[in-house]
Amino acid sequence: MNIFIKLLGTGVSLLAGFAGTKLVDTIWEKSTGKKPPKGGKDDVPTTLRSALTFALISASVSAVIQVLANRGTQRAITRFAKTQDIV
């Protein structure tokens, strides 16, 4: 069951990361009026300042999501271990 909780934590982390990426992209597009700089072939040329700002915001949101997902997984594992001891 411990492996199940770890896999569930990984799944939650991936979904939260996907949602966070979409949220940052949407907020960026609404606030600047431009698509976020992604570095693709069809990307509109962007300034270095814009690209660095977007990278900083994206990395910050990703780090927060990762920490929260890890804490939630650890809390679930601890709770599960306590219930196993009681039973």
Higher-confidence residue of 57 and 4: namely 57
Domain ranges of the chain: 2-86
- Phi/psi class of residue 44: alpha, beta or left (left: φ > 0; alpha: ψ in -120 to 50)? beta
In this structure, what token pair is assigned to residue 39? 């570095």
Closest Cα partner for 28 from 40, 16, 36?
A: 36
In this structure, what token pair is assigned to residue 13? 């982390």
Instruction: State the pLDDT at residue 22.
Output: 93
For residue range 8-57, what is the model confidence (pLDDT) as tens digits? 778 888 888 899 999 999 999 999 998 888 877 666 778 889 989 999 99
For residue range 51-79, what is the model confidence (pLDDT) as tens digits? 899 999 999 999 998 898 888 888 877 88
What is this structure's pTM?
Answer: 0.75
